[in-house]
Amino acid sequence: MATLSPIAADLWTDEAQPRLIGGRHRTTGRIVFPMPPGDAAADFDPVPLSRRGSLWSWTVQSFRPKSPPYDGPEAFEPFALGYVELPGEVIVEARLTTATDLVIGMPVELVIIPFDATRATFAFRPQEDRA
């Protein structure tokens, strides 16, 4: 199976267990995601974020978003979308791999999933080892 390209450059690390790449502001220490591009990047240092967090809020995207900016497949399928709090770092908006049995505060972990036939994106799934 061919490796899928990320939907955008420098969103996650190239490791066996990828981590999202945020930016830490050099003066304030505030962390943002994604790492700011272009001239704005001069004020930030890249920082790999935690792979695990907790579900802060969620909803289901039940209709195809307006295009642009949506750049997804024409054959749209509803998906869960959530805010995931990465403790001490940042709250990230991301796809969720399931729309069932979601509970605010539940532990979740980062996964890389197919976006379309050639690209991959990131999402969060319920943590498998909740101990």
Residue 118 lies in a domain: yes
* Residue 68: inside a domain: yes
Q: Which structural domain, as residue segments, surrounds residue 27?
A: 5-126
So what's the pLDDT on residue 115?
87
Domain membership of residue 131 (yes or no) is no
Tell me the C-alpha distance between 29 and 50, whole Å.
16
23 — phi, psi (to 5°)? -130, 130
- Count the domains in the chain: 1
Residue 33 lies in a domain: yes
Domain membership flag for residue 111: yes
pLDDT digits (tens, 9 = 90+) for 11-29: 999 999 999 999 999 999 9
User: How high is the pLDDT of residue 69?
Assistant: 65
pLDDT tens for each residue of 22-60? 999 999 999 999 999 999 999 999 999 999 999 999 999
26 alpha-carbon distance from chain centroid: 23
